[in-house]
Structures are given as C-alpha cells and as structure tokens.
Amino acid sequence: MNERIKALYKTHIIEKAKDETHTGQLTDATHVIEAYNPLCGDQFTLYLKVEDDVVKELKFNGYGCSISKASTAVLAESILGKSLTDFGKVWSDFMEIVNENAKASPEQISNNEYLLAFAAAREFPERKTCATLSWEALAKALITH
C-alpha cells in the first residue's frame, strides 16, 4: 500500500467514524434498509428519502467498528443529492477500490480521497466486509425495489 493511501486511511477513517452529520432517523423515509454482519455484530439502519429518483436525505443509526461506521458516513455523503443511477456508478467505483484483485490502482478509479481511504482493505481482506457492509445492503435493497 502506498504512503498516500496509508495516510488517507489513518486520517479519513478516524474523522468519518466520529462524524455524526448523517446519524439519526428519518420519519418520512421512503426506504429503510438494514445492514448487518452476524460475524462481527456491526449493524446499521439506513433511512433514505428518495424523490424523483434522487436521494434527498440519508441518515443512519447503528454501531460497528470504525471502518464500517466511517464507510457508512462516506456512503451517505457520496450519494446525497444524486440519482439512483449515479449511486450505481459510485457503488461500482467503491467496490473496485476495495477489491484486492482489481486491475486498476485505486487512484485510477477515483480521485475522491474519502473513497480512496478504503483502498487499504485491499491489503486487509478481512476488513473488506466492514468497508462494504452498508454499501452492499443499500445496493441489494435498491436493486430489488
């Protein structure tokens, strides 16, 4: 892992794990999605308000390790104000960034430092589940609706 990715990991994961900007609940949510990892106990409930195919609001409640909480916060910031189609692109970029078998370097996939911070999961595959927990739950829910 290059030094830049290490530095992003150390600073951005810690910062976003403490960030409470998107924590809470939406009483008028159009989608309520559960993200749960029974192996470690990380669990989040995501509340989305989608209007005209655009994510107008996203809040989440729950608990987990720093990586899963930071990743859920970054997910919220990454899709807020975007269409569900745009979510598909952000989702595929994120999944490629954390994929240890990806052919492209993380920097070739995105220039978003908060997404790039999770590239460290390439070297720690056991943490990949933490990083992708909420992302995968949201993708699964949106694809089935």
What is the domain extent for residue 15?
A: 3-22+65-144
pTM over 0.85: yes
Is 56 inside any structural domain? no
Domain contains 113: yes
Is 112 part of any domain? yes
Domain contains 41 = no
pLDDT in the model for residue 71: 96
Supply the pLDDT for residue 28. 96
Domain count, the chain: 1
| Residue 127 DSSP symbol | G
- What single string gives the DSSP state of each residue in 48-93? EEEETTEEEEEEEEEE--HHHHHHHHHHHHHHTT-BHHHHHHHHHH
Note the pLDDT of residue 144.
60
Q: What is the pLDDT of residue 9?
A: 72
pLDDT at residue 14, as a whole number: 87
Say if 83 falls within a structural domain: yes
Q: Report pLDDT for 10.
A: 76
Does residue 111 sit within a domain? yes
pLDDT of 45 reads 98
Look at residue 121 and tell me if it is in a domain: yes
- Residue 125 domain-assigned? yes
pLDDT computed for residue 1 by the predictor:
59
User: By CB neighbour count within 10 A (0-12 exposed, 13-18 middle, 19+ buried), where does 68 fall?
Assistant: buried
What are the per-10-residue average pLDDT scores of the chain (145 residues)? 69 89 96 94 96 96 95 96 91 94 92 90 85 96 72
